Amino acid sequence: MCSLGNIRKPSAFMPVFFAVIVFGAFFAGLNQADRASGAEGVRLLEEAILRAAVHSYATAGYFPESVDYIVENYGIYIDGTRYVVHYDVFAANILPVIRVFEI
């Protein structure tokens, strides 16, 4: 037999506990989304600089000597507060090394 006196009532802390779990999961998801968007921004900027460099080589016969040339002539915007661009040219006819890092 089961008596109703033995049934435990939920603690008053249970809603607080579940709210903390839900908010924790929410903020963890936001953090993950922020990291994913940052990685995507790095990839897109790197590809845009590469496309502009290859376009310059196709039209002018040489790769630009600096990323400043690409910014001025191809309309690419580099947010200096968010990204650092490493653009290393070995020779005018060899594809430069392009790396973008998020600050």
Give per-10-residue mean pLDDT for the chain (103 aa): 60 75 74 73 93 94 94 92 93 93 90
Examine residue 44 and state whether it is found in any structural domain, yes or no.
yes
Examine residue 32 and state whether it is found in any structural domain, yes or no.
yes
Examine residue 3 and state whether it is found in any structural domain, yes or no.
no
Examine residue 30 and state whether it is found in any structural domain, yes or no.
yes
Examine residue 23 and state whether it is found in any structural domain, yes or no.
yes
Examine residue 92 and state whether it is found in any structural domain, yes or no.
yes
Examine residue 72 and state whether it is found in any structural domain, yes or no.
yes
CA nearest neighbour of 70 among 45, 34, 40, 101: 45
| Positive or negative: CA dihedral 31, 77, 75, 53 | negative
Query: What is the rounded average pLDDT for all residues in the chain?
Result: 84
Q: What is the pTM of this model?
A: 0.69
